[in-house]
Every structure is written in structure tokens, then in C-alpha cells.
Amino acid sequence: MFDQHTMQVFQIFLIAVGLAADSFAVSVSSGAIIEKLRLRHAMRLALFFGFFQGLMPWIGWKVGILASAFIRSFDHWLAFGILCFIGGKMVYESRILKEDIEEAANPFSLYVLFGLAIATSIDALAVGITFSFLNIAIIEPVLIIGIVTFVFSFAGTYIGEYFGHIFKDRIELAGGLILIGIGCKILIEHTLLQG
């Protein structure tokens, strides 16, 4: 049987996979539109996405720590709401038609990469707030989320080069469902099992 820390790490890993779905989708699109993909392109994109996806939960965690005294009595409901909202948004976005990347923009330029990295990591900021509500030390989640996003983004550029847009929406859908499931688990643990 797994101990509590192992289960927590596994849960953080699942959250990381869910959060990495947006970065993966953008990486697939980027790999699909560039004519000659090079290792430096994939590394640059993965470093940007991995860094910001790891940084945002830390910022959210700090914000949550400051606010925790005011919301401790309903923090599990807030964590549930945040994760379900983010997951629901990802599910919705995976089902609608959308432009992959503006045609005029080079997704590997520093300016565009910065914007894409911020845009795809906003959800991680909200998840960082939930970590503070759950009294989770932040260093481990930051490392796991950053590394998972780096790997997904790096692989996504090559998948995009060879397979285009086949997997992009399915990954985003799966990521959203994972976050909703974890949100439900948190709510059940704090209301039914401890109530």
C-alpha cells in the first residue's frame, strides 16, 4: 500500500499533467507550423513553458498563504471550485474550433514565447493557490509541474512536426477531466470523510 506522501506526489503529478495540456497543445501547433524544426526550437519553447508553469504555482501559493487565515473554513470548496473551473474551461476549449497560433507570429521568437508561456501558465497560478489551502509544501509541486511541462512541451514540438493537430484537443480534454476529478476528490475528502 502506498504511503500518504507517495499518494500526494502522484496527485501532484496528475495535476502537472493536466496543467501541461495547454502547453502541449501550443507546442504541437508550433511544431506543426515551423518549416524546419531544430533542437534549439524545441529546447527554447520547453524551457519557457516549463519555467513559467513552475513559477506560477509558487506565486499563487504565496498569495494563498497570505489569504489563508480569511478562508480556512471554506478552503476545500474554493479548491474544488478553482480546479473544476480550470478543468471545465480546458474541456470546453478542447471542443471548440479555435485558431492555433496567429499566422503572422513566429512561435519561437522570444517575444511570442514569453506571451504564450504566460498565457498557458495562468491556470497554474490558480492551482498554486489551492496548494496553499491544502497545506502542501510548494517546492515539490513547482519542480514536478515545471519538469512535466518541459517534457510535454519538448515532445509536443516534435509530435506537431510529424503528426500535426491530431492529438492536441484530446490531450487538452484529458487534462481538463483530470483537474475536475482531483477537485472532486479534494471536496469528498474534506466534506464526507472528515465531516
Note if the pTM is more than 0.75: no
Give residue 152's pLDDT band: very low, low, confident or very high (50, 70, 90): very high
pLDDT in tens, 11-65: 999 999 988 988 888 788 778 777 778 898 899 999 999 999 999 999 999 988 8
In this prediction, residues 130-140 reach a mean pLDDT of: 87
Question: Which pLDDT belongs to residue 69?
Answer: 67
Radius of gyration, CA atoms only, the chain? 17
> Residue 166 contacts by C-beta under 8 Å, 6 or more apart in sequence?
none
In this prediction, residues 112-134 reach a mean pLDDT of: 84
Question: Which pLDDT belongs to residue 166?
Answer: 62
Locus of grid cell 472528515 = 194
Question: Which pLDDT belongs to residue 45?
Answer: 93
Cα-Cα end-to-end distance for the chain: 25
Between 194 and 102, the higher pLDDT residue: 194
> SS3 sequence, the chain?
CCCHHHHHHHHHHHHHHHHHHHHHHHHHHHHHHCCCCCHHHHHHHHHHHHHHHHHHHHHHHHHHHHHHHHHHHHHHHHHHHHHHHHHHHHHHHHHCCCCCCCCCCCCCCHHHHHHHHHHHHHHHHHHHHHHHHCCCCCHHHHHHHHHHHHHHHHHHHHHHHHHCCCCHHHHHHHHHHHHHHHHHHHHHHHHCCCC
pLDDT in tens, 138-149: 999 999 999 999
Question: Which pLDDT belongs to residue 164?
Answer: 61
Domain extents in the chain: 4-191
Question: Which pLDDT belongs to residue 61?
Answer: 93
Question: Which pLDDT belongs to residue 59?
Answer: 94
Least confident stretch, 168-172, 177-181, 183-187 = 168-172
Question: Which pLDDT belongs to residue 100?
Answer: 47
pLDDT in tens, 58-84: 999 998 888 766 766 676 787 788 778
Question: Which pLDDT belongs to residue 60?
Answer: 92
